[in-house]
């Protein structure tokens, strides 16, 4: 059954404070839910209350939408994402992103957990995404195009907004936080990659690997949201260390990286809010 955005927004309006209009949207990945503690005077909506969305099945994803203020800026935060490997239909991913645009957001900040192919960016560190390679088997924009949401064809040369990258780097520098830069390659999952795949990905020019981000970026850019993405390194990619890769490790090192993201996010959101139209 097709879900209309008008139905989605009717539900959102029943929860949100009168006059609340978010400037920035946020998506929190594995192990990064503690970032939501930076949001003040928040109103919470469970995903299952929103038409077209569903509860995530992955540990570390709370499946809650929060509306409130971060650093004095009105934001909407998706605490936990929906992954294609969970069987999530693309309809849900489109709704997941577009509802933030319909609420009034001008920019979207995406976070996520990654395996690092950068020798100098180890577990617990942060990597700002500057570009991506889509190794997922599909695209959430395949099929009928809703012209009211965005054009059939659109460029991706500035998928990760250069201006927002500058603001994030400046914010990190001011706080003394090391922020690496890299290209994200998105795989379907849910299994981690093989050492041979990682060698191939490095040859293609990838620096970090994960199982999300790209579908959300595609929908966001299609509907005109400016995008910034910062990822938490939870492990070295397969074959780059002797450590076994586990989801428990993902959550553990995600929480370590979240300590710096907790410092970085309010300053970035404040500066980014002044820069977006």
pLDDT of residue 276: 86
pLDDT of residue 30: 65
Which among 15, 28, 12, 103 has a CA at the least distance from the CA of 62? 28
Which helix (DSSP H) or strand (DSSP E) does residue 131 occupy? strand 126-134
Q: Which residue has the tokens 């977006």?
A: 276
pLDDT of residue 256: 81
Instruction: Name the pairing type of β-strands 40-46 and 64-70.
Output: antiparallel
**Cα 219 from chain centroid?**
12
Q: How far apart are CA 92 and CA 149, in angstroms?
A: 15
Query: Is the pLDDT assigned to residue 98 strictly greater than 80?
Result: yes
Q: How far apart are CA 173 and CA 273, in angstroms?
A: 18
pLDDT of residue 207: 98
pLDDT of residue 61: 57
Count of residues for the chain?
277
Say how many C-beta atoms besides its own lie within 10 A of residue 89's C-beta: 13
Q: How far apart are CA 208 and CA 201, in angstroms?
A: 9
Q: Could you tell me what percent of the chain has a pLDDT over 70?
A: 96
Which among 115, 129, 258 has a CA at the least distance from the CA of 181? 129
pLDDT of residue 196: 97
Average pLDDT over residues 102-110: 97
Average pLDDT over residues 128-136: 97
Tens of pLDDT, residues 164-173: 999 999 999 9
Q: Are 177 and 126 in contact (CB under 8 A)?
A: yes
pLDDT of residue 148: 95
**Cα 60 from chain centroid?**
14
Positions marked catalytic = 30, 61, 83, 85-86, 113, 211-212, 235, 247
Torsion angle of the four alpha carbons 35, 269, 51, 102, in this order, in degrees rounded to the nearest 10: 180
Q: How confident is the model at residue 1 (pLDDT cuts 50, 70, 90)?
A: low
What is residue 249's three-state secondary structure?
helix
Q: Are 269 and 109 in contact (CB under 8 A)?
A: yes
The two tokens of residue 107 are: 């920019």
Tens of pLDDT, residues 214-242: 999 999 999 999 999 999 998 899 998 87
Query: Is the pLDDT assigned to residue 23 strictly greater than 70?
Result: yes
Return the sign of the alpha-carbon dihedral for residues 118, 121, 123, 124. negative
Tens of pLDDT, residues 28-83: 876 667 778 889 999 999 999 999 998 876 665 578 999 999 989 999 999 988 99
Tens of pLDDT, residues 159-207: 999 999 999 999 999 999 999 999 999 999 999 999 999 999 999 999 9
Q: Give the domain ranges of the chain.
A: 20-275
pLDDT of residue 257: 81
pLDDT of residue 60: 56
For 20-275, CATH number?
3.40.50.1580
Entry pTM:
0.93
């Amino acid at each position: 059954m097709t879900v209309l955005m008008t139905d989605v927004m009717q539900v959102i309006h029943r929860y949100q404070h009168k006059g609340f209009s978010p400037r920035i949207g946020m998506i929190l990945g594995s192990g990064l839910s503690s970032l939501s503690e930076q949001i003040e005077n928040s109103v919470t909506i469970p995903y299952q209350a929103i038409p077209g969305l569903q509860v995530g099945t992955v540990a570390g994803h709370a499946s809650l939408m929060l509306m409130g203020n971060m650093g004095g800026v009105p934001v909407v935060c998706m605490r936990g994402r929906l992954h294609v490997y969970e069987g999530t239909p693309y309809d849900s991913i489109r709704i997941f992103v577009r509802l933030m645009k319909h609420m009034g957001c001008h920019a979207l900040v995406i976070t996520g957990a990654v395996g690092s192919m950068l020798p100098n960016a180890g577990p617990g560190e942060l990597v700002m995404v500057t570009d991506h390679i889509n190794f997922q088997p599909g695209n959430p924009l395949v099929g009928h195009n809703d012209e009211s949401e965005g054009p059939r064809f659109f460029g991706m040369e500035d998928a990760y907004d250069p201006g927002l990258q500058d603001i994030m780097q400046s914010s990190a520098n001011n706080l003394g936080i090391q922020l690496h830069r890299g290209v994200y390659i998105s795989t379907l999952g849910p299994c981690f990659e093989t050492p041979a795949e990682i060698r191939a990905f490095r040859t293609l020019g990838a620096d970090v690997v994960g199982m999300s981000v790209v579908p959300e970026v595609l929908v966001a850019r299609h509907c005109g949201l400016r995008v910034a993405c910062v990822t938490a390194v939870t492990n070295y990619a397969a074959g780059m260390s002797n450590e076994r890769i586990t989801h428990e490790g993902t959550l553990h090192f995600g929480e370590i990286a979240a300590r710096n993201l907790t410092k970085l996010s309010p300053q970035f959101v404040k500066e980014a809010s002044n820069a977006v139209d």
